[in-house]
Structure 1
Amino acid sequence: MKIIDVVLSEGTTGFYFDDQKAIKKGAGHDGFFYTGEAVTPGFSKIRQKGEAISVMLVLEDGQVALGECAAVQYSGAGGRDPLFLAQDFIPVIESEIAPKLIGRELTSFRELAEEVDAMEHNGKKFHTAIRYGVTQAILDAVAKSQHRTMAEVVVDEYQTGVELKRIPIFTQSGDDRYNNVDKMIIKGADVLPHALINNVEEKLGRNGEILKDYVLWLRQRISEQKQSEGYEPILHIDVYGTIGQAFANDFKRVAEYVAELGEIAKPYHLRIEGPVDVDEREAQIKALAEITRYLAEAGSDVEIVADEWCNTYEDVVDFADANAGHMLQVKTPDLGGVNNTIEALLYCRKTGKGAYSGGTCNETNRSAEILTNIAMACGATQCLAKPGMGVDEGYMIVNNEMNRVLALSRRRKNS
């Protein structure tokens, strides 16, 4: 089966681009807008609409494979590629990548994806969002040419040894961290609530008191409102380095505070994502390794999740090897080609780290579906419900794709 054409269209994502540096510096609110000046290069406002590019590969039998280019909400922060605007990058795909795909035989996803991911322009790889969307389309194209699910293609090509099954879904609340928790409880989300704790004064507290109160409320709310007796979700809270800000990056004090949160959360297990952000890769690895060690010495079962500065496959390897966290978020758009996501998730499993197939609220329904296939094929520890921050939509997209993959793979086994 050959690719006979590449068709592109501009799209929007399920959320927004936000200038993380401006927010951390105390940007104000006016309804859904942030007030103040943007500080990250490329941003004209602190909050801008998210943009995507649909990449459609027309196959010689008339089928159309689809992937979508998207970048994370906090583009340009933590060592990531700059803001991704569709009108800037559609001409790049048309002129630089499409001619190299037209006429190609779809014999191996892995080989073609690795080739595209390694392509360069003026000595640099293409923007991560481009590589992300184009390789998604290639995976869909190979699956369509073989009349199988994308998950089955990945299991076979990478010999993952995984039997396809449901994996835990992690839902994110955005700033509506109370009402959205109620939705999560009703839906029976496996992991919740993310909570978006990205400001010390408003969301964490100078001494961490606001977050302590929130974790207590979470514990009580789940216990009071759970829909079945066996419901015991994992609590996973992303704090965007604010604990480090509050405690002047005293890593022992950070670990002590995190352990306190773990006790408040019981009987529910707690994960804390991004307890500190020290603005540099090697320092971040060292910081998370120290916090992880302090927690072990204290006998705490709270898990630290690495996020900031853990952007590429090489970063995932280095964080894992340094024991910099118990779980690593494979932030899927940041890795470029989805072949890198596959390799990163498998490396986490190999080294005994939690393999979190993450991403961003600022993706699309299509990228979420494709990455759900990949998370299942790699036996990820958990998979992010995306896009958006409304809970219901992201959970529906990921949950339903998961169930479709299982139903189709079962049918093939039984036929």
Structure 2
Amino acid sequence: MRIVDVLAVPVQAGFFFDDQLAIRAGAAHDGFDYTGGPLTPGFRRVRQPGEAVSVLLLLDDGGVEFGDCAAVQYSGAGGRDPLFAARDAIAVVEQVVAPALRRTDLAEGFRTVSARVDALTTGPDNSPLHTAVRYGVSQAVLAAVARARRTTMAEVIRDEYDTGAPLVPVPLYAQTGDDRYGNAEKMIIKGVDVLPHGLINNVAEKFGQSGEILADYVRWLVGRIRDLAPSPEYRPRLHFDLYGCAGLAFKVGQDASTDTGLDTGIVALAAYLADLGAMAHPYDLAIEHPIDAGSREAQIATYRSLRAALKARGANVRIVVDEWCNTLDDVRAFVAAGAADVIHVKTPDLGSIGNAVTALLLARDAGLEAYCGGTCNETDRSAQVSAHLAMACEATQVLAKPGMGVDEGLMIVGNEMARTAALVRARETVRP
């Protein structure tokens, strides 16, 4: 089966682009919007509509397969590619990607074709294609190869990368957005495996100058799990994303070192997180991006220090890396340094799905937790492809996406995993 042509179509993303720098600097809510001006280059305002592009592969059997180019909510932050623009992406797909893919024989396999796309360049400086473009095109290629082989996308990944995965649904992780109370209750009633994310992206409003706002929320959440649990056996994992707010509140990197050689802010933060872990009992606690150290090297060093301080206290807290761990090389560096307990493989930031596969397997094989994540700002299609990716790589958890409504993301990702697992079981049952 061959690719006959490639189309690029602007479509809706699942949420918004938000200027993380402006929000962390204190941009206040104005209803659903934010006050003030943007700080990150490329933004017209602090919150603006997300954009996405569908890449359609027209095949010589008359069929069509597609993937969606999408970028994360907090584009341009933490070492990521700049803000994604659909108009620019369409031009790149039409002028660079389409000529490279026309007449491609899908018998070459996903790894070969997607690697070719990943190596494409654009512009006078021969820059790599935007990660969002590589993400969407590789989804389309994966779907087309699966069509040619008459298998699921999960089976293509499992077989080409020899993952040995059983292709069963993995735990779902949902995010509340700013409705951190009502949406958390939805998650509990539905028995979500990992919750609530919490969107703790502002010190004054959501974390507290000494972490008191988050501590109150953890106490409330533990109580509501007790009240609303769908069964006595329900034991969700608690996972909060702090967007660097803890480091700001505890002045990490701003105070002199202690006699132990650790920054006094790290020592204070470790004590706080250890207390938070005790509050979360009997549930496991994971904290994502507690500190933003400003670069990959600084982030690795800071997280190593924080993990050491937590270990010294015997704290039941796992550290999740997000910002400054965007590319495959970044993931390799964090894994090699032992700088996190959980690696958030933020799928749009890795570019090709093939890079996300390699990143998840690196974390898994190193004995770390491999979190197949992404963003609320993706699309239904990229979420479905991520479900196959998570299953094929035995991810520790997969993000329910897109959107911030909880129910939609749980439905899209959860249903795709259920259907895929059923198809794989059915085929294995009828094999001679």
Global fold match (TM > 0.5): yes
Residue 240 (str. 1) matches residue 255 (str. 2): no
C-alpha distance in structure 1 between counterparts of 2:297 and 2:45, whole Å = 30
Deviations 1:309-366 (A, max 9, x none): 0001111111111111100100100011110000000000111110000000000000
Of residues 186, 189, 198, the one that matches 1:186 is 189
Which residue pairs with 1:355 in the alignment? 370
- Paired residues of 2:193 and 2:237 also in contact (CA < 8 A): yes
Which residue pairs with 1:208 in the alignment? 211
C-alpha distance in structure 1 between counterparts of 2:13 and 2:288, whole Å = 24
Which residue pairs with 2:226 in the alignment? 223
C-alpha distance in structure 1 between counterparts of 2:427 and 2:270, whole Å = 49
C-alpha distance in structure 1 between counterparts of 2:48 and 2:367, whole Å = 38
Residue 46 (str. 1) matches residue 46 (str. 2): yes
Which residue pairs with 2:35 in the alignment? 35
Percent of aligned positions with the same letter in both sequences? 55
Residue 176 (str. 1) matches residue 171 (str. 2): no
In structure 1, the residue corresponding to 2:106 is in which secondary structure? coil
Residue 144 (str. 1) matches residue 147 (str. 2): yes
- Gaps of at least 5 residues in structure 2 are 253-264
Which residue pairs with 1:95 in the alignment? 95
Please tell me the residue identity of whatever aligns with 2:117.
Answer: V
Please tell me the residue identity of whatever aligns with 2:287.
Answer: I
Residue 198 (str. 1) matches residue 213 (str. 2): no
1:284-295 equivalences under 5 Å are: 284-295=299-310
In structure 1, the residue corresponding to 2:371 is in which secondary structure? strand
Which residue pairs with 2:256 in the alignment? none
Of residues 345, 349, 354, the one that matches 1:339 is 354
Shift of 1:300: 1.1
- Gaps of at least 5 residues in structure 1 are none
Deviations 1:245-264 (A, max 9, x none): 00001112111111110000
Residue 61 (str. 1) matches residue 61 (str. 2): yes
Which residue pairs with 2:282 in the alignment? 267
- After the TM superposition, list the runs of 4 or more consecutive aligned residues in structure 1 that deviate by more than 6 angstroms: none
C-alpha distance in structure 2 between counterparts of 1:51 and 1:413, whole Å = 40
Shift of 1:123: 2.2
Which residue pairs with 1:115 in the alignment? 116
Number of aligned positions between the proteins: 415
C-alpha distance in structure 2 between counterparts of 1:291 and 1:82, whole Å = 29
Shift of 1:283: 0.3
Which residue pairs with 1:163 in the alignment? 166
Of residues 133, 137, 140, the one that matches 2:136 is 133
C-alpha distance in structure 1 between counterparts of 2:276 and 2:350, whole Å = 31
Please tell me the residue identity of whatever aligns with 2:176.
Answer: S
Please tell me the residue identity of whatever aligns with 1:211.
Answer: L
Shift of 1:129: 0.4
Please tell me the residue identity of whatever aligns with 2:382.
Answer: S
Deviations 1:98-156 (A, max 9, x none): 01101000021001111111111232101000000000000000000111000000000
Shift of 1:293: 1.2
In structure 2, the residue corresponding to 1:174 is in which secondary structure? coil
C-alpha distance in structure 1 between counterparts of 2:289 and 2:28, whole Å = 23
Of residues 356, 360, 371, the one that matches 2:386 is 371
- Paired residues of 1:162 and 1:377 also in contact (CA < 8 A): yes
C-alpha distance in structure 2 between counterparts of 1:251 and 1:306, whole Å = 16
- Paired residues of 2:66 and 2:139 also in contact (CA < 8 A): yes
Shift of 1:183: 0.7
Please tell me the residue identity of whatever aligns with 2:12.
Answer: T
Residue 14 (str. 1) matches residue 29 (str. 2): no
Shift of 1:180: 0.1
C-alpha distance in structure 2 between counterparts of 1:325 and 1:397, whole Å = 29
Supply the RMSD in Å over aligned alpha carbons: 0.7
- Paired residues of 1:292 and 1:323 also in contact (CA < 8 A): no
Q: TM-score, normalised by structure 1?
A: 0.99
Q: Bigger shift: 249-258 or 101-110?
A: 249-258
Residue 310 (str. 1) matches residue 325 (str. 2): yes
C-alpha distance in structure 2 between counterparts of 1:254 and 1:332, whole Å = 29
- Paired residues of 1:254 and 1:275 also in contact (CA < 8 A): no
Q: TM-score, normalised by structure 2?
A: 0.95
Which residue pairs with 2:257 in the alignment? none
Shift of 1:4: 0.6
Deviations 1:38-66 (A, max 9, x none): 11111001001000000010111111111
Shift of 1:158: 0.2
Please tell me the residue identity of whatever aligns with 1:388.
Answer: G
In structure 1, the residue corresponding to 2:77 is in which secondary structure? coil
Shift of 1:29: 1.5
- Paired residues of 2:388 and 2:417 also in contact (CA < 8 A): yes
C-alpha distance in structure 2 between counterparts of 1:6 and 1:124, whole Å = 21
Which residue pairs with 1:402 in the alignment? 417
Shift of 1:97: 0.9
C-alpha distance in structure 2 between counterparts of 1:330 and 1:254, whole Å = 25
